[in-house]
Chain A
C-alpha cells in the first residue's frame, strides 16, 4: 500500500514559540488614547506612548504655553524637535525609568514598558516643571537666541510644579496598568490564534485520515471488481462443460445410444437432474456477478402482471405437485400494465414461488395474489391528488406460504447474498442463498420494493410492489451495480 501524502502539522510558532510581542499587535489604539487622556485630565501632564521601534502609538499632549513660545521661531522648533526625538529613543537604563531634560528647563519622565522581560515600548510623561525650577536654564537662551527670555520666564512660572516622587507614582501606576493590558491582550491574542490553529490542525489530521480511508476504499473497490470478474469468468467456464454433461445424459436417457436397463436409466436421470441443479446454481452466480458489475441488462416492454404470474406458476407447478403442495393464483380483475422486463420479472416470481414451495411441507399451500393499490402513506387530501394519483398506482404481488416461516430477527437479512436463515437449511432444502438477493436487486431496478412478513398463523409472505406503467415510464437499461464499497 503506498503511503498517503501527509502534510506537515500546522505551525503555531508565533504563539507557542518565543516571539517578541509587539505592542501594536495587542493593544487597541483608541482604548490606549482614552486611558492616557484620563491620566492627562487627572494630573495635567501630557502622555505619549511609543512602541519599541519608536512608533508613536498615542499622543495626549498638554498645552504648555512656553512650548508654544519656543516653537514660534525656527531654531526653537528645531531644538524642540530634537528633544522630542531624543525622548523617544534615549535608553531608559537598567531600571527603565529616567528623567529627560528639555532645554527650556522643563523635563520628561520616561518609563519603559516591559513584557516577558523584553522592552516593548515606553511611556513619555511631560513636559512638566520639576519642583525646584525657578528660572529657565542658560541653555534656553543659547538654543533659541531670539527668544524673549522675560516672557519665557513668566510662562515657565505658570507651569505647575510636579514633585519627582508624585510623578514617579503616576508613572508606575500607568506602567503597571499598561503592562497588565498588554498581558491580557496578549493572552486573548494567543487564545484566539491557538483556537484557529487547533481547528486547522484538527482539520489537517482529519484530511489525512480521510485520504487514507479513500485509498483503502478504492483498493477495496478494485478487489471487489476483480472478485466479480472472477466469478463471471468461472461461472461461464463451468457452464460450457456442464451443458455437454446435461445434453449427453439427456440423449442417453432418451435411448439415443441404445436401450438402457431400468437401473442405468435411473442413474442417467440422476446425472441429468443434478446437472440441471448445478446449472441453476451457476446461472445464479452469473446473475449475481452481472448484478454486481452492473451488466445485467433490462429490456423494457409493457406487460400484464397476470400473465407473468401464470408463467411463473407453470414453471414451479411440477415441483409443487411432486411435493404435494397446493399452488394457487388469485388475480385482481383490473388489468394493470407494468413497465418491466418480462423475463426478469418471471425470474423474480419463479424464485419466490420455488422458495415458498421448497419451505412448505406436504399438504401446505402457496398462494400468489396480485392487486392494484396505491403507494403507502398517501392521503386522499394530498395536494393535487387528482393529478398525482394515477402515478401512484402500484401493483402488489404477494407470495404466501404455510411453511416453516422466518424468525422476525432474521427477516432483514434474508435479502443478503449467500445468507441462509440457518446453515442447516442449505443441506435440508438446497439452494445457494443467492435467490432472494437477486430478486431484491431486480425488483429495485424496476423501481419497486420487496419485503418479507409473517403469514398468519404459519409461514412467510413476500410482498413485491411494482409501479404501474404510468408511474414509471422508463426503466434503466441495466440493473445498476450495488451501492457498496
Chain B
C-alpha cells in the first residue's frame, strides 16, 4: 500500500496468481467490463501473439471517497502474473508489494496438480520476497465451473470449510463470480491494511464504509457485503455459496 497523506491518496495493489490458463486475464477482462467506465483506466495487457500473458495485465481502478476528514482518492491496481512456469522471475517481480492475492484455480480435476504446484510456487516467491502466506490476505477462486470434469461443488465446499481462505466459485468467461472474488479480496486486503495502519482513524473511513463506497463507485451500489460474502470457508464460514451453477 502507498499512503500519500499530502495528496490524500491511497494506492492498493492486488495480484491475481494461479497456474497457466486458469483464467487470470479473463477475470481481469471481465472485471474491466463490469465496472463503471468513469472509475476504471485502460486495461493494460502485455501478451504474446498467442494471447498468453508475457509479463502481466494491469487494470487501474480509481475512485473518490468522501469521508469525515474530507475527500480522498483511492487507487486500486489489479495485476495478473504470467502463469507459465518459465516466467518465474516475472511472477516474483509482479508480486512485489501486493496487498492481497486472489488465487485463480482451474476447477478441472485434471488441473489439481498444476493448481497445487502454482500455489507452492506462490509460497516460495513470497518467501523469497521476505513475506509469508499467513500474513497476506488471500482468496481462492475455483474458475471454469461451467466445464465438465470439474471438482464438484460439494467437494469444494467441504475442502473450503476445512481451509483458511475463503473460496469463490466462478466462470470468468461469462462474468460469474468475478465481482464476488474481487470484492472479497478488496474487503480482506483493506481490513488487513486497516489493522496495520489504523486507516479508520487516519482517513475517517471504516472498512464496511470503504467497501460500500468502492462498490458504489464501481457501479454496484449496495452490493458490497453480499458480493464479498458469497464464498465458502474463510472468515465467512458457513456463508451461502456463490450462486454459480
A97 interface residue, CB < 8 Å from B? Answer: no
A183 interface residue, CB < 8 Å from B? Answer: yes
A205 vs B92: C-alpha distance when bound (angstroms): 11
A381 interface residue, CB < 8 Å from B? Answer: no
Residues of A within 8 A of B60 (CB): 116-117
**Which stretch of A195-203, A239-247, A432-440 is in the interface?**
A195-203
The tally of CB-CB contacts under 8 A between chains A and B is 72
Q: Provided the pairs A9-B128, A9-B129, A17-B96 are in contact, do residues A116 and B41 lie with their beta carbons within 8 angstroms? A: yes
Q: Do residues A117 and B73 form an inter-chain contact, with CB atoms below 8 A?
A: yes
Residues of A within 8 A of B11 (CB): 17-18
What is the minimal beta-carbon distance from A2 to any residue of chain B, in angstroms?
A: 19
Contacting residue for B92 out of A187, A190, A191, A201, CB 8 A: A201
Q: Provided the pairs A16-B97, A18-B2, A18-B75 are in contact, do residues A9 and B92 lie with their beta carbons within 8 angstroms? A: yes
What is the minimal beta-carbon distance from B96 to any residue of chain A, in angstroms?
A: 6
Residues of A within 8 A of B56 (CB): 16, 194
Q: Do residues B55 and A10 form an inter-chain contact, with CB atoms below 8 A?
A: no
Residues of B within 8 A of A183 (CB): 42, 44
Instruction: Tell me the B55-112 residues at the A interface (CB within 8 Å).
Output: 55-56, 60, 62, 73, 75, 77, 79, 87-90, 92-94, 96-97
Question: Would you list 15 pairs from A and B whose C-beta atoms are within 8 A, ordered by A residue?
Answer: A9-B93, A9-B96, A12-B93, A16-B13, A16-B93, A18-B2, A18-B75, A183-B42, A187-B44, A190-B46, A194-B90, A197-B93, A198-B89, A198-B90, A201-B90
A154 interface residue, CB < 8 Å from B? Answer: no
Q: Do residues A116 and B62 form an inter-chain contact, with CB atoms below 8 A?
A: yes
Could you tell me which B residues sit within 8 Å of A by CB distance?
2, 11, 13, 41-42, 44, 46, 54-56, 60, 62, 73, 75, 77, 79, 87-90, 92-94, 96-97, 128-130
Q: Do residues B62 and A18 form an inter-chain contact, with CB atoms below 8 A?
A: no
Contacting residue for A18 out of B13, B90, B128, CB 8 A: B13
A426 interface residue, CB < 8 Å from B? Answer: no
A190 vs B89: C-alpha distance when bound (angstroms): 16
Residues of A within 8 A of B46 (CB): 187, 190-191, 194
Q: Do residues A18 and B77 form an inter-chain contact, with CB atoms below 8 A?
A: yes
A13 interface residue, CB < 8 Å from B? Answer: yes
What is the minimal beta-carbon distance from B8 to any residue of chain A, in angstroms?
A: 13
In this complex, what residue of B is CB-closest to A194? B55
Extra pairs beyond A18-B13, A186-B44, A190-B46 (10, CB < 8 Å): A9-B96, A10-B93, A16-B94, A18-B2, A117-B62, A117-B73, A190-B44, A191-B55, A201-B92, A205-B88
What is the minimal beta-carbon distance from A177 to any residue of chain B, in angstroms?
A: 14
Residues of A within 8 A of B87 (CB): 198
Residues of A within 8 A of B79 (CB): 16
Q: Do residues A201 and B89 form an inter-chain contact, with CB atoms below 8 A?
A: yes
What is the minimal beta-carbon distance from B134 to any residue of chain A, in angstroms?
A: 20
In this complex, what residue of B is CB-closest to A15? B93
A11 interface residue, CB < 8 Å from B? Answer: yes
Residues of B within 8 A of A205 (CB): 88-89
In this complex, what residue of B is CB-closest to A114? B41
A208 vs B113: C-alpha distance when bound (angstroms): 28
What is the minimal beta-carbon distance from B90 to any residue of chain A, in angstroms?
A: 5
Contacting residue for B93 out of A8, A186, A194, CB 8 A: A194
A187 vs B41: C-alpha distance when bound (angstroms): 13
Residues of B within 8 A of A199 (CB): 89
A12 vs B41: C-alpha distance when bound (angstroms): 21
- Of A9, A195, A199, which is in contact with the most chain B CB atoms at under 10 Å from its CB? A9
- Of A197, A199, A205, which is in contact with the most chain B CB atoms at under 10 Å from its CB? A197
A116 vs B62: C-alpha distance when bound (angstroms): 8
Residues of A within 8 A of B62 (CB): 116-117
Q: Do residues B55 and A201 form an inter-chain contact, with CB atoms below 8 A?
A: no
Residues of A within 8 A of B96 (CB): 9, 11-13, 16-17
Instruction: Tell me the A3-26 residues at the B interface (CB within 8 Å).
Output: 8-13, 16-18
- Of A10, A116, A202, A205, which is in contact with the most chain B CB atoms at under 10 Å from its CB? A116
- Give 4 nearest A-B pairs by CB, closest first: A117-B62, A201-B89, A18-B11, A12-B93
Q: Do residues A195 and B89 form an inter-chain contact, with CB atoms below 8 A?
A: no
